[in-house]
């Protein structure tokens, strides 16, 4: 049910004076951002250490990592469905519904993880060849993918559990779990790639094995916390075997557009890799470096955006609509400022960041500089539109709008423009700019959508069983 409405001309403050909004953002955003930073560092450790093995190695791992990106995006769709529904039930104090939603999300996560692992185990060469025809890159990519694909099911399960805990405002456990994973991964990476601490020198195989062990460790720690230490959601092992037909229908109804949006985004990411892959090793390696910088910059913004999403779901679920409008106005100003600041910092630090990759060629570094320059501009739009469309519109209940918007931009703007630019021989940086252009154009859509206030919809049911207090 649409409970928003209104006009951007309404007399709503541009900046809310509700201190609890800022307190909630800090309380939720800091651990989420730190978790994202640590998760990024796990991948960055692979990327940086493998980078010392040369362009072919870093390109192979980058291509294989696109499958991990698919896993993260699909898993992120399930996490989003858990967060959107559970945060609204959290606003109503219905813990039973949240436990059922968490179990449903975990079931779907495990199923997807197992299916993708099976595909990548059976035909890894075919999967890698979808992105590039370079024989050396394919060989290194297959070597990495054969091992790392075994980690997918563990990653998916862990992220679903973390999403359930975030929905009840217990965000610190995700940070702690990722911290443990980082320590395990970096230690094993250094030991297994280069043959330190008594390990054999395994190169790319060592990087993949280190990631697998780190993912298994994450899952074990997360399960121990949820079943033995947490008293907020009080999830028991038996709860993971239970389900609820009504809530499962709701999960599919509201979750499929979220997952669909992530699938569309995964098509976009893989399309990026395929289009840039035709330029060869140096462009692929440069894109890997630039996208790593983008991910690093995205960490703080994503933490804040996730916090906005939790606050939005809780506020809409509690029926505090006018207050939510204040929060929406404030969010737009905060994230536009964050985007401008982050773009400036990226511009200042790009040379230093590229210099960390000592094993790449001068041409690769030159391409990376060009790509990073594009990101300095487009990231301003990323901050604004991503926070508005996910943190507000999607978490506020208008899930279908975001899915349709992403589909239109990816299939009819981003990929076609990049394909045409590539076909007519445009320089790699122009193609890269085409692949990022939606980050600016979406801001126009986001501005008018947010300020129409027609996106607030209560997705909860009045009765889901026993009612518990927070």
Helix axes 321-355 and 438-452, enclosed angle (nearest 10) = 170
Q: What is the pLDDT of residues 112-148, one digit of tens each?
A: 999 999 999 999 989 888 877 778 888 888 888 999 9
- Measured distance CA(245)–CA(104) in Å, rounded: 10
Question: Could you give the 3-state DSSP secondary structure of residue 466?
Answer: coil
CB 79 within 8 A of CB 156: no
**Burial degree of 27 (CB within 10 A; 0-12, 13-18, 19+):** middle
Q: What is the pLDDT of residues 210-236, one digit of tens each?
A: 989 999 999 999 999 999 888 888 888
Residues in the chain: 470
Token duo for residue 137 = 């890159």
pLDDT over 80 at 466, yes or no:
no
* First and final C-alpha spacing in the chain: 25
Please state the separation of Cα 26 from the chain's center in Å.
20
Our CA angle for 292, 377, 301, nearest 5°, is 55
Q: Residue 292: which pLDDT band, with cuts at 50, 70 and 90?
A: confident
pTM of the predicted structure, to 2 decimals: 0.71
- Measured distance CA(244)–CA(264) in Å, rounded: 28
Domain ranges of the chain: 19-452
Q: Which is more confident, 134 or 389?
A: 389
Our CA angle for 91, 93, 96, nearest 5°, is 125
Q: Which is more confident, 7 or 457?
A: 457
- For tokens 């560092």, name the residue: 41
Q: Count other C-beta atoms under 10 Å from residue 373's C-beta.
A: 16
* Best CA proximity match to 176, nearest among 324, 275, 293, 39: 39
Q: Residue 445: which pLDDT band, with cuts at 50, 70 and 90?
A: very high
């Amino acid at each position: 049910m649409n409970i928003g409405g209104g006009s951007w001309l309404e007399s709503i403050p541009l900046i809310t004076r509700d201190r609890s909004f800022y307190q909630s953002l800090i309380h939720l955003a800091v651990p989420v951002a730190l978790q994202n930073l640590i998760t990024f560092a796990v991948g960055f450790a692979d990327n940086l250490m493998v980078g010392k093995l040369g362009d072919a190695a870093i390109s192979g791992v980058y291509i294989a990592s696109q499958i991990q990106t698919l896993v993260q995006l699909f898993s992120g769709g399930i996490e989003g469905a858990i967060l959107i529904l559970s945060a609204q039930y959290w606003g109503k104090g219905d813990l039973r519904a949240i436990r059922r939603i968490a179990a449903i999300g975990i079931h779907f996560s495990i199923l997807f993880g197992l299916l993708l692992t099976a595909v990548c185990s059976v035909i890894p060469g075919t999967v890698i060849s979808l992105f590039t025809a370079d024989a050396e890159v394919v060989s290194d990519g297959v070597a990495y993918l054969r091992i790392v694909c075994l980690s997918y099911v563990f990653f998916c399960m862990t992220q679903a559990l973390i999403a359930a805990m975030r929905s009840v405002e217990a965000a610190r456990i995700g940070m702690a779990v990722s911290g443990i994973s980082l320590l395990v991964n970096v230690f094993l990476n250094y030991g297994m790639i280069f043959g330190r601490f008594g390990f054999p020198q395994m190169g790319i195989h060592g990087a993949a094995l280190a990631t697998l062990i780190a993912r298994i460790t994450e899952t074990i720690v997360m399960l121990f916390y949820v079943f033995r230490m947490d008293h907020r959601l009080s999830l028991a092992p038996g709860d993971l075997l239970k389900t609820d037909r009504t809530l499962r229908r709701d999960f599919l109804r509201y979750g499929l557009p979220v997952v669909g949006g992530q699938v569309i985004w995964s098509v976009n990411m893989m399309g990026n890799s395929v289009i840039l892959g035709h330029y060869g090793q140096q462009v692929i390696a440069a894109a890997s470096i630039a996208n790593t910088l983008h991910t690093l910059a995205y960490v703080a913004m994503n933490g804040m955006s996730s916090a906005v999403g939790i606050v939005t779901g809780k506020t809409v679920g509690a029926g505090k609509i006018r207050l939510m409008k204040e929060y929406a106005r404030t969010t737009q100003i905060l994230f536009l400022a964050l985007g401008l600041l982050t773009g400036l910092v990226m511009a200042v630090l790009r040379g230093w960041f590229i210099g960390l990759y000592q094993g790449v060629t001068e041409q690769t570094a030159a391409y990376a500089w060009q790509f990073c320059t594009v990101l300095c501009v487009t990231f301003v739009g990323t901050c604004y539109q991503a926070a508005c469309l996910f943190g507000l519109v999607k978490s506020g209940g208008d899930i279908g709008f975001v899915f349709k918007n992403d589909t239109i931009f990816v299939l009819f703007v981003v990929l076609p423009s990049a394909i045409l630019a590539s076909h007519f021989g445009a320089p790699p940086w122009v193609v890269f700019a085409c692949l990022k252009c939606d980050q600016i154009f979406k801001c126009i859509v986001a501005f008018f959508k947010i300020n129409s206030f027609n996106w607030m919809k209560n997705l909860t049911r009045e009765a889901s069983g026993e009612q518990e207090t927070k």
